[in-house]
Amino acid sequence: MKVIHVDMDQFFAAVEQRDNPELKGKPIAVGHDAERGVVSTASYEARRFGVHSAQSIQVAKRLCPQLIIVEPHFQRYKEVSAQLHKIFHDYTDLIEPISLDEAFLDVTINKKGIELGVDIAKEIKQRIFETTGLTASAGVSYCKFLAKIASDWRKPDGLTVIHPDRALDFISQLKVEKIWGVGQKTAEKMHFMGIFTGADLRSQSQQRLTEVFGKMGQVFYNFARGIDNRPVISEWERKSVSCEQTFEKDISDQSAAIIELYHTVLELERRIAKNEFEGRTLTLKIKFQDFQQITRSITVEHILHTKDDILPLAKQLLRQIEFHSHPIRLLGLGVSNQRGETEDEKTRWIELELEFEDWPDSQL
């Protein structure tokens, strides 16, 4: 299999700088400038000061006093994303979108009959620049895991190929933080076990990794050996519909929590109708003031369609949570569990890409 991973460079920030020449060369962060605002994307000029995505806007401004906060324009980003996919489809229809600004392409058999994946990646990068004025980075390899890592390797405007013959050597030198699925907590656990590189990870037995990391242990075991058999999936079935909101001020009052819960239910009802989704499991997601996060779920026999179906269950789940002395920072609701799903799928909280232009209160 020949896989290309295309990832736009500083996408939201790049679009803003392209559309507003006064922002070019300046440190900007795309996000909502509020007490609880979060950086969605930072320009490379801002990143030199330590500003990065998912960071508090207030922290970002302290790190970079000259930082310019730009409100997001999601319709523009969607329009550019549509341009990207039009280019992708000139080469293959096996396209798996990851977000607005990145996707996997299976070019094993491609429409132009180009033999080398690297040549396709070069063409795509050039056409993206000619069409949008923006740069993209691309990774080429024989599987999704390595193509993803390769696209991050020489950002911005990079192109990296990881050949099968060199894959194990490449992975051996890789820091575990770069491995797909290894977040901060997992990395800390791995470091405690003496695992710092791909080579260290490869030295661990399958049994040991599974004991410590559960199902992900098998994934890490395979990744360390360059094994990733996941296909590029161009069509997928929606597993859940969800929405969430971060509050400007933490909530510890029951009446305030019920009001916010009600508004979240209304938004969830709208999204269920828009996506024609049928699910039976409602999941409440709560993030507290100290960033501790919990979920509570309930499954019923009937389809959850309307506010009248969802609100009583949401209130029931909220009553299970003590938040008077543990204020709530974020509240989210999701519906999942379609007919025929496995038990694992019923209980999994799946966060999908939010349609932000329709959810202005979300803190990015």
Is residue 305 assigned to a domain? yes
Is residue 58 assigned to a domain? yes
**One domain, residues 153 and 92:** yes
Q: Give yes or no: 102 in active site.
A: yes
Distance between CA atoms of 187 and 189, rounded to whole angstroms?
5
**One domain, residues 351 and 244:** yes
**One domain, residues 184 and 155:** no
**One domain, residues 83 and 66:** no
What pLDDT digit, counting tens, does each position of 11-38 carry? 999 999 999 999 999 999 999 998 888 9
Is residue 89 assigned to a domain? yes
Q: Among 340, 310, 335, which Cα is nearest to 240's? A: 335
Which range of residues forms the domain containing residue 43?
Answer: 11-70
Average the pLDDT over each of 90-99, 161-170, 333-342 and give the range with the smallest value.
333-342
**One domain, residues 78 and 66:** no
CB atoms closer than 10 angstroms to residue 293: 13
Is residue 235 assigned to a domain? no
Distance between CA atoms of 2 and 120, rounded to whole angstroms?
10
The catalytic residue among 16, 96, 102, 267 is: 102
Annotated binding site: 7, 101
Is residue 232 assigned to a domain? no
Question: β-strands 328-336, 281-288: how paired?
Answer: antiparallel
- Name the pLDDT band for 339 (thresholds 50, 70, 90): low
State the average pLDDT over residues 61-70.
97
**One domain, residues 286 and 214:** no
Distance, first Cα to last Cα, the chain: 36
CATH of the domain at 344: 3.30.1490.100
**One domain, residues 323 and 301:** yes
Element containing residue 41 per DSSP (H, E): strand 41-42
Is residue 330 assigned to a domain? yes
Question: β-strands 68-70, 240-251: how paired?
Answer: unpaired
What pLDDT digit, counting tens, does each position of 132-179 carry? 999 999 999 999 999 999 999 999 999 999 999 999 999 999 999 999
Distance between CA atoms of 212 and 210, rounded to whole angstroms?
5
Count: domains in the chain: 4
pTM surpassing 0.85? no
Is residue 228 assigned to a domain? no
**One domain, residues 130 and 146:** yes
CATH of the domain at 216: 1.10.150.20
Is residue 231 assigned to a domain? no
Annotated binding site for Mg(2+): 7, 101
Distance between CA atoms of 152 and 9, rounded to whole angstroms?
10
